[in-house]
A and B are shown apart, each in its own frame.
Chain A
C-alpha cells in the first residue's frame, strides 16, 4: 500500500462559506488531521459494493466502461484539469468520452487505437492549376480506424488490461519487477479513491462538490495518495492529465476535441491536409501562401505588434529562462 504523507495545508484551502443548503462539514474536515486520516483510511479500505458491480454490468451492456457515477466523477476531474472559462473546458470538449473510447478500444471490430488516413474532411484539396483552395473535399478517412497487427494488439491489450492479464505479454514482468498495470483497472481504482475521498472529506460525491472543493481534493490526492507506478513511471493523476490533454487536442475522430474547438482555443488549425499552408500553382510554377495563415511572414493580426501573453504564459517563459540558466551553469557553459 502507498505510504501516506500529509502536507501542511495552506490556508487558502479552507473553503469559501457555502450557500446555506450545503452541509457545513465540507472541506473543514481537511484541516483536522485525524479526521482526514480516518477518511483516507476509509477510502483505501473500502470495498466495491455489489450494487456498484451491478451498475458496471449495466454500463458494459450499453457499450460503456464507466458507470454513470464514475463518468460523473471523471468528467468533473477532467474539467478541473482544463476548466471552462471564456473558452470551452474538458467537459465541453468531450475528454471523458475520449478516455472511455480508449478504455473500450477493443470492444469494436477494429480497435480505436490508430485513426485512418490520409485526410479528414475538414479541409479542401488544393487546386494546383490556379494555386487556390478547390471546392472539393476528401471523405473523412480518419474515421476508418486501422486494423492492428497481432503484435500491436498484444501491446495495446497489455496497455489496457495489464501485462499479466494478456497471454504472451508478461515477457518482461519478472525483469521489470512486476506487471504493467492496465489502464482500465487504474481508472477504476483511481476514480473510486477520488470519490471515496470526496465522500469522507466533504460528505458528497466528487462531482457534486464546488469547483474549489474539487480542486482542493484533487491537488491533495495528487500530492499524497497517488504515487507513480514503478513500471509506468506515472501516477493516476499523471494519466488523467495526459489523457485530458489528449481528449481536448487530438483529432476529433478519437472522440474528444469536439468540432475541433480544442484547437480553436489554442489558435491552431489542427490537421490541415490536404490543403496545407502553401498551394502550388502550375500557372506560375511556384507557390501561393494563404493570406489568412501566411508561412513566411507574421500573422496578419500581429503585423502591428504581438498578441499579449497571459500572466501564466509570461511566468512559464520566465521559468524556462530560470531553469535554462541554472542548467547552463551546471554544465559550466
Chain B
C-alpha cells in the first residue's frame, strides 16, 4: 500500500495514552492530554475512518487548507462518503428480545472519519440544564412533595434513572472551555431556560432563516398551559459567525446537516481540538485503523489490536486507553474483548451495553404557500426550549396542571427546520418511492411536475423535538449471532424501543407543536405527529424500525458505584485500572438537548482529570 495513513508526530514510538476515536470525545481528550507544556502525555489516536481534511498537522503559519468536503448531495447523502457503511459494517436491529434482529441498513450510524461525527452535524450546541445532572433526586423529591403525582419512568413503570456523579456547577467551566475551543455562536440570555453561564458566547448569532422567523413568530402566539407564551430563541451552534482563529465565517451554504463543511467554518473536532493535538508534537494519529480488540488480563489493558488500511492486523501499546468511538462502537469494542475467563471486559456491573438512549424525535410539519428556501442557511437557526419541561434557569422541574391532575413533561428542545434542498434524497425519494402507489409520483410528467414545484423541499417546514429518552436496561447493544463486519467480527445488534416516559411526554407536547405550525401560517392544515417523519424518515422506533436520531448515549454509564455503573466519576472503568471512556457512552441520562457540547465538556473534565490540569479561563 502506498498510502500513508498517519498524521502528527511520526517520530513518536512510546505512548502514555491511546485514544480510540478522533471525534468530539477523542479529539477533545487528545487536545487536553497533549496541551500543557509541563503536564502532558504522548498520545496515539486510532481513527477507523478516512481523512477528509488537508494539512491538519501542518504548521499554522497560514490558514488551514480547505478540506475534501464539498456541496455534493450524491457524495454524502447517497454514497455516504464518511458514513459508517452498512455493507462493510452492518448493524442489526430489533425492538425486543422476542423478535429476531434483522439487517436494518442505517441503525443510527454515525460518520467514521478523522474528526468524527460532529463534522457531519450542523453542530448545534445547547448545554444541558442544571437539573439534568440530578434528575433522579429532583424527581423523587417532587413526587414526595406532591402526593398523587405519578411519573412514568419513576414511580410508575420505573426506568433505570440515576443522577450524574457530577453537578452542572462542576461541569460549567468545562462547558465554557468547550464553547471557546469549538467556537460557538449564540446570545446569552436569549434562552431563558438555559442554566447559569460564566461566560458569554464567543460569537453572536449569524443570519436567521426566513421560515425560522415565521415559526418563532408563531411560537410567541402560543401558550404553554399555565406558563404563558412560548419563548423562541436563537440556536447555539459551533459554527463561525465571525473569523475565529484561522477559520472563516460561515457563508450559510445550506448543505450543513449531514455534510462536511467545505470552508472549515463549522467547529468540528478535526479543525479545532484534534488539530491542536496534532500540532503539539505529542500526538500521532493513525486513520483507516479500526480497533477490534482490547488485549487484557481482565483488570488491565496492555494493548489494542487494530486492522490497518491495508487489512493487516497490528497492535499498539500504551499505559492507558480511552474509548471514544461513540456509544455503540465503544461498547462493541468491550464486547469484542473477552477477559481470560471469557467474560466481557469491564462488565462487572452487568450493565455494559445497556441504557442505550437515542432521544425520541417528534416532528410536526406544515406547508407554506411560498418557498421556504431552507437551502439557504445553517439548517437550524432558531428553536424553543419550553418543552424541556423545566423552569427558567433550568434548575427545577415544572409541574403542569391538567384535567387528570398534576403531571410533569420532560421533553426536549425543538429545532425549527426545513429541507436543505436535497432533490435526490428527499424530494425525489419521497415522490418516487416512499409515497405509496397513486399517492406518489413514481415517474413521468407527474414526477417532473412535483420536482419542479419542490412541493416538499421548498414548502415543508416544521419542528423537531429532541425529547429525553429514559434509560432502560433492555435498550442495549450486544453482538449479533449471525451477521459480521468486513473483518469477520460480529456486528452490533441494537435492541431498542420507546417507553411510556417519552411517549407520554410526546403526546403532551404534540398539540402545542401543532399550534405553532398553525400560527406560523401553514397552508390550511398541519401535518401532525409522525406524519412527515414517518414518510421522510420511515425508520421511526414507533413503527418498530431503527431510529436515526444520531444522538447516541448510554452503554457505559458513569456512576459512583461499580455495581450499578460501568465507569467511575473520573471516566475510568470501575474494574479495569487503565481504561477510560469519554464519549456519549458515559451519560447516565440523555436530557433533551443535542448531546455534543456535553460530550465535549465531559471529555474535557475526564482528560483534565487524567493529566491534572484546569480548564482554560
> Is A293 close to B, CB under 8 A?
yes
Interface set, chain A 116-168, CB cutoff 8 A to B: 116-120, 126, 128, 141-142, 146, 149-152, 154-155, 158-159, 168
Q: Given A241-B433, A287-B207, A294-B210, are A277 and B376 neighbors across the interface (CB < 8 Å)?
A: yes
B473 close to chain A: CB less than 8 A: no
For the complex, give the distance between the alpha carbons of A313 and B446 in Å: 8
Indicate with 1 or 0, residue by residue over A260-293, a CB within 8 angstroms of chain B CB atoms: 0011011111111111111110100101010001
Complex Cα–Cα for A289 and B373 (A): 14
With CB as the reference atom, state the residue of chain A lying closest to B377. Answer: A295
In the complex, whether A80 has a CB less than 8 A from a CB of chain B is yes
Contact A245 B248 (CB under 8 A): no
Is A328 in contact with B531, judged by CB distance below 8 angstroms?
yes
Residues in A296-333 with C-beta less than 8 Å from chain B: 296-299, 302, 305-307, 309-317, 319-325, 327-328, 331, 333
Given A241-B442, A245-B423, residue A316 in contact with residue B435 (CB < 8 A): yes
Docked complex: B47-83 residues within 8 A CB-CB of A? 50, 52, 66-75, 78-79, 81
Helix, strand, loop or mixed for chain B's interface?
loop
Q: Which A residues are in CB contact (< 8 Å) with B488?
A: 171
Using known A-B contacts A82-B448, A249-B428, A280-B249, determine if residue A320 contacts B527 with beta carbons closer than 8 Å.
yes
Task: Write the nearest CB–CB distance from A235 to chain B, whole angstroms.
Answer: 11
Query: Of the 9-residue stretches B186-194, B344-352, B454-462, B594-602, which lies at the interface with chain A?
Result: B454-462
Find out whether the CB atom of B88 lies under 8 angstroms from the CB atom of A155.
yes
Shortest Cβ distance from B296 into chain A, in angstroms? 26
Contact A117 B448 (CB under 8 A): no
Residue of A175, A263, A311 near B482 (CB, 8 A) is A175
B208 within 8 A of A: yes
**Closest CB in chain B relative to A194 CB, distance in Å:** 14
Question: What are 28 pairs between A and B in contact, CB < 8 Å?
Answer: A113-B79, A114-B79, A115-B74, A118-B263, A150-B311, A151-B288, A152-B50, A154-B486, A171-B485, A175-B484, A242-B432, A250-B73, A268-B454, A271-B72, A273-B70, A273-B263, A279-B251, A280-B249, A287-B249, A293-B373, A293-B376, A298-B210, A302-B371, A316-B431, A316-B455, A324-B529, A327-B529, A327-B534
Given contacts A289-B207, A306-B371, A310-B453, contact A83 B262 (CB under 8 A): no
- Interface assignment of A218: CB less than 8 Å from any CB of chain B: yes
Instruction: Enumerate A232-251 residues with CB–CB distance to B below 8 Å.
Output: 238, 241-242, 245-246, 249-251
B488 → chain A closest CB, angstroms:
6
Query: Are B441 and A312 closer than 8 Å at their CB atoms?
Result: yes
Give the complex CA separation of A251 and B69 in angstroms: 13
Give chain B nearest CB distance to A136 CB in angstroms.
14
Known: A297-B210, A327-B530. A168 touches B486 (CB 8 A): yes
Within 8 Å CB of A254, what residues of B?
74
- B456 and A316: CB pair below 8 A? yes
- Whether A313 and B453, one on each chain, are in contact in the complex, defined by CB atoms closer than 8 angstroms, is yes
Chain B: interface size category: 35 or more
Q: Given the complex, which residues of B lie within 8 Å of A262, measured CB to CB?
A: 423
Contact of A120 among B70, B79, B85 (CB under 8 A): B70
Q: Is the CB of B452 within 8 A of A306?
A: no
Range class of the A interface residue count: 35 or more
Q: Across the interface, do A313 and B449 meet the contact criterion of CB distance under 8 Å? A: yes
Chain B CB within 8 A of A81 CB:
yes
Beyond contacts A168-B311, A272-B71, A328-B531: 8 other A-B pairs, Cβ-Cβ < 8 A, are A151-B288, A175-B483, A295-B207, A296-B207, A307-B371, A316-B431, A324-B529, A333-B510
Which chain A residues numbered 29 to 59 have a C-beta less than 8 Å away from chain B?
A: none
Are A246 and B424 also in contact (CB < 8 A) when A87-B452, A277-B252 are? yes
> Quick check: is A215 within 8 A (CB to CB) of the other chain?
yes
B103: CB under 8 A from chain A?
Answer: yes
> Which B residues touch A270, using CB under 8 A?
71
Contact status of A117 and B69, CB under 8 A, knowing A149-B3, A246-B74, A306-B369? yes
> Please, which residues of chain A bring their CB within 8 A of the CB of B367?
317
Interchain residue pairs A-B with the least CB separation, the first 9: A276-B251, A324-B531, A313-B453, A117-B70, A271-B71, A118-B262, A319-B439, A312-B449, A118-B66
A residues in contact with B71, CB < 8 Å: 120, 251, 270-273
**Docked complex: B166-219 residues within 8 A CB-CB of A:** 206-210, 213
Contact with A along B101-130 (1 / 0, CB 8 A): 001000000000000000000000000000
